[in-house]
Every structure is written in structure tokens, then in C-alpha cells.
Chains A and B, each alone.
Chain A
């Protein structure tokens, strides 16, 4: 179906906002929200055996914004699936609020999933294209116990959620998500989280498919949401620059292992692990020179 950009007039203010993503919180005193000990995931397929996540430990505190930085193949997607409970670790334990997480049955999984939500990389595949936007948002209200609210109260809630991400609910009713741009869809995803108010949000590269101009807006909204709900945000990314701007804590992942973790400043400005050092030196920069001599021509 054809997308009509003209139909969606969602830029209310012409004010080009300037956004600062520097909103660190001191979370060291907060209680633990999600933690893991020796979490491992192996895959056996067609005779090959791979260890996607290899014996990792982590401690994410309540209200913390933690970035897990890794390149493709580092196992960050597998780890995020395990954190979400979509995949069981082969060995090791994950603790939710200090208690061992139990997702052994369908009912227990549903119980756990009330606390965690996700935003994925590709907004176009994050929505069921057969559901209208109203359905998507109504579903969130119903899930959080608002099933029996009067209709106008529901509309009020949805309008509030949309205005939080600078969308107008009245213009979205009866539309399908794919009629929006990628950035708008990702904002709708944030509106969804606003309604669901989970304890943990796992954001898996939510801006990697978004244009640079909209990226700041989305990140800004995500940070606002975190302050609004006070949730833990686990931000999965390959972009170490992005992680530096938004995170309280950074975990660097290589070949299924955490090679380094600590506050964003610590890890990125004074990296200790060789991998982190290399990663940071290889990322193109604009203030410091990007030293091409550090790589040898035949290096792999």
C-alpha cells in the first residue's frame, strides 16, 4: 500500500530543539534489578557447536541506563534474548530483583514479562502490519489492567502517551503503523512503553535504522521515559559513541564475553582492555586524528 507522507502532519512546532543526552544518574546505591552469574548460551546446529554467550556476569541496578556494546557476532543479541526470557541460558543464572528468575512454565514467563519490555532495531518489523495503531495502543492499556476503563479514559491515556513522544493521537487513529516513517514508528514504540511502564526496558539498537536527524529526538524521548518511569534501560548497541553519550554504565562485549565494564567515562576515556582500546581507536573521530597507521595493510 502506498504511504502518503503528506497525510501525516506531525511536526507541530517548527522549533528545532537542541537536545543534550548527557543525563547521567548515580545509581550505585540503587538495589539490583537484573543480574547474572555465569550466564552461558551454546548452540548446536548441524554438527557445529558455538558458544554465543560465554560465562558472563553482570549487575544492572534499578534506574540504571546500561549499554552493552559489541560488534556483530559478539553475542549481544543472544544475551538480549536471554535477558528478555525469550531464550533460556544453557547454564548460569539470571536474578531478577535479587531472586533467581524462574521462567520454566508459560505462566511464570508471563509473570516475568510483565516486568520487561523491548524496543527492537527495525521499526518496520516491530509492528504487526495487520493491526491499526489504535489496536497497538489499546492492547497496552488492556495488558496493564485497564481493560474495564471507560472508552474516553482509554482515549485520554493513549493521547497522553502519544503526546509524550510528540505524536498526535487524533491523527493516528485508524492508521496503520507502516503509514508512518521509521522515526515515527520508533516513537510509537516508546509511547507503547510509556503505557506499559515496565521495570526494565531492553532497547536493541533502537536508532541504528533511524536517520541522524531523528536519532537525537528518539534518544531524548527514551531518556525522558526512563526518568518518567524510573526503569532500568539496557541499551544494546554497536555504536560506542552513542553508548558514551547516553549511558551510566557500559559493558563491552567481545566473542561472547564481557571484556570490560564500568562507568561510561571510565570505560571509554580510559579503556583498559585491549579490545576496548582497539575499538575506540578504530572508531572514526572528528576532534582527535583518526590514526590509520594503527592497522597493518594485511591485518584481518
Chain B
């Protein structure tokens, strides 16, 4: 077993809406990632996966508020620190974050090298420009990025290149955890593949020591991360290795999700897809019991009232359901 790079214990964060209502978008989430491993987070829009990504940085600003729980990066607790400390001491070195539209977040009037300087100077105000330049050039070379890009403005780069440059810039300090929220969703498939290859490469070289990858594209997640976690209505409903999750999901919701995958591969065309009716619950007033019960085909009356803990049922596998794993597997088998 490798060293645990990121451990999250019972993290709860909330949004406060314009109408002063609390939305608990991340509700008692616990997870851990070992060094050199990556974890994918899947779920429909509004399930809290992007909020989780933001919350994991330890950097909170309204309307997002930290409520309880711990975020431990390589033995160091970063939850509950004041935003300024987080910005100076945590972001970049411990945790790096790449949002979906990262490539459009670059100030168009500045050169790429200026952003690298910003990142490094935020942590080491004494760093000299020559060293920074050398460091940036070395890193760009290792990542097969053209060195000329350093002296360009963001608008001069193509979409895929821009995104790769953004990733290179934000990971220049070799963070312990990289949180990538849909980093390739706005790109065409070829650029997406290049970005993924670069991320893999960075993992192999130790430029990032663990990664959380968030996307709604399940086939992509399957190919990128070691483990997959499915979120529903602010909670984790299942976790397992990528292969287990895609081919042997246990929770009725993850099964529905995995059985909605459409891939252009021979013989998959007449696959039976699962459609789950209904909509996720409103997180302003989450249901008491299992949050999925309202839409679940297999829900028992008790599912609606009993709060549902997350249960370990096999090495590295967890689920949150009132039925036993063997019962669920039997039911699924009988349906095929």
C-alpha cells in the first residue's frame, strides 16, 4: 500500500443561495487517494462533484462555506485555514486546481511566463527570474510543450495547447494533489486525448503525485483514473476500481449511470440501456433516508426513512444502499 496523499474525512460544505437558503452540496464526504493514484468522480450535473472539487482546495469564498470535516494532504490538515494562508502555502504546492474553463481564465494581456512567475512568487517571494525561467523551460520541455509558448499570449494558442499550458503552469510546483474539473470537456476528442496523455505523463514522472479527475463522460473516466467514485445528491454512493465500477456496479444509481454509456464499438449497439426516471432531490431539503429512494426501482419503504451509511464491502469498494450486495447482484442477474 502506497502512502496516502489525500485523505478527506466527513467533509461538509454548503452554498448559501441568493434567498439565504443553505444547500449542502457536499455532505459528509470521505475519501482517500494513495500516492501515484488517481480517483475519478462521476455523477449528473448538480450532484455536487464540482463543489467537491472546489471544497477540496480548502479555499473557501462566498457563496461556498466550509462546515465541518478534515482535508489532509500528505499528513497536513488544510481545512479550516484562513484563505490567505491557503493561497500562499497550500495552492500550487499541496493542491492545484484546474477548472473546466481554465483556458479562458488567462488574462489576455499577459504572457504565459508571467503566470508562471505569479505562481512561483506567491510561494517563494525571493525566487529570481532567471531560475523561474529555467524551471519553466525545463518543465515545458519535459512535457513536450514548445518553449516558445512561454513568450506568447493566451490568445495566440489553440484551445488544446492553451489547456495544456494552463495545466503545466498550475502544476509547476509539482503539487501533491491535482484536482481537475472537466479539464478536457471543452476540447475536441483529439486534443482531449493529448491533454489526457499529458496528465498521465505527469503522474508517471511524479510532477503530480495524485489526481482527482471529475467528468460526466464515463468512458473517459474509465480510461483515465484508477478508481471511480459516483456521487449523487451531495453524497458518495459507490466507490471501486474503474473496471469494477464500469462492469460490476452495485448501487442501482451507478448501475443506471454505467448502463447509459454509449461507445462506438462493435457489438455494443443493441445493448440495453437503463433510463432512470425522475430528477435528483432538491438539496435545500434533502430527503431523510436514502437520497436515491425516490427514483429507485428497488427501494423498500424503509429506504425512505433510515439514514443510509456508506459501507465497505470488498477491498477498495464501498456502497450506500439498504440492500445487501449479494441481493442486488441476484436481482441484476435475474433481469438480464
Given contacts A278-B190, A284-B263, A297-B197, 14 further A-B contacts (CB under 8 A): A5-B282, A11-B294, A17-B277, A212-B216, A213-B276, A214-B276, A217-B277, A244-B268, A269-B266, A283-B264, A285-B263, A287-B265, A292-B193, A300-B191
Q: Which residues of A contact B307 (CB under 8 A)?
A: none
- Taking A6-B282, A71-B188, A181-B279 as contacts, is the C-beta distance between A285 and B264 under 8 angstroms? yes
A53 CA to B6 CA, complexed, in Å: 49
B302 contacts the other chain (CB 8 A)? no
Interface of B is mostly: loop
B16 contacts the other chain (CB 8 A)? no
Looking at chain A, what size class is its interface with the partner chain? 35 or more
Q: Are B257's CB and A212's CB within 8 A?
A: yes
Q: Which residues of A contact B281 (CB under 8 A)?
A: 5
Q: Which among A93-101, A104-112, A137-145, A235-243 touches the partner chain?
A: A235-243
A137 CA to B211 CA, complexed, in Å: 48
Which of A5, A21, A242, A279 is packed against the most chain B CB atoms within 10 Å?
Answer: A5
Q: Which residues of A contact B268 (CB under 8 A)?
A: 244-245, 287
B192 contacts the other chain (CB 8 A)? yes
- A281 CB to nearest B CB, Å: 9
**Mask: chain A, 1-39; 1 = CB below 8 Å from B; 0 = not:** 010111010110111111111100000000000000000
A299 CA to B297 CA, complexed, in Å: 47
Name the residue of chain B whose CB is nearest to the CB of A182: B45
Q: Which residues of B contact A14 (CB under 8 A)?
A: 277, 296-297, 299
A148 CA to B272 CA, complexed, in Å: 44
- B219 CB to nearest A CB, Å: 4
Q: Which residues of B contact A245 (CB under 8 A)?
A: 262, 268-269
Q: Are B264's CB and A268's CB within 8 A?
A: yes
A299 CA to B158 CA, complexed, in Å: 11
Of the A-B pairs whose beta carbons lie under 8 Å apart in the complex, a sample of 30, sorted by A's number, is: A6-B285, A14-B297, A17-B275, A19-B273, A19-B274, A20-B273, A71-B188, A72-B188, A181-B279, A214-B276, A239-B262, A241-B219, A265-B269, A268-B264, A279-B190, A282-B189, A284-B223, A285-B263, A286-B219, A287-B263, A288-B265, A290-B193, A292-B193, A295-B194, A296-B144, A297-B143, A297-B144, A298-B145, A299-B190, A300-B160
In A133-183, the 8 Å CB interface with B consists of 166, 181, 183
Q: Which 5 A-B pairs have the closest CB atoms?
A: A297-B144, A211-B44, A11-B278, A241-B262, A216-B275
A220 contacts the other chain (CB 8 A)? yes
Q: Are B297's CB and A15's CB within 8 A?
A: yes
- A273 CB to nearest B CB, Å: 15
A21 CA to B273 CA, complexed, in Å: 8
Q: Are B275's CB and A283's CB within 8 A?
A: no
Q: Which residues of B contact A298 (CB under 8 A)?
A: 144-146
Q: Which residues of A contact B267 (CB under 8 A)?
A: 287
Q: Which residues of B contact A284 (CB under 8 A)?
A: 217, 219-220, 222-223, 263
A56 contacts the other chain (CB 8 A)? no
Interface residues of B (CB under 8 A from A): 19, 44-45, 143-146, 158, 160-161, 188-194, 196-198, 200-201, 216-220, 222-223, 246, 252, 256-257, 260-279, 281-282, 285, 294-297, 299, 335
- Taking A213-B275, A283-B219, A284-B220 as contacts, is the C-beta distance between A299 and B263 under 8 angstroms? no
Which of B143, B264, B277, B285 is packed against the most chain A CB atoms within 10 Å?
Answer: B264
Q: Which residues of A contact B223 (CB under 8 A)?
A: 284-286, 290
- B299 CB to nearest A CB, Å: 7
Q: Are A286's CB and B282's CB within 8 A?
A: no
Out of B200, B218, B252, name the residue touching A212 (CB < 8 Å): B218
Name the residue of chain B whose CB is nearest to the CB of A69: B264
A13 CA to B297 CA, complexed, in Å: 9
A287 CA to B161 CA, complexed, in Å: 29
Q: Are A242's CB and B262's CB within 8 A?
A: yes
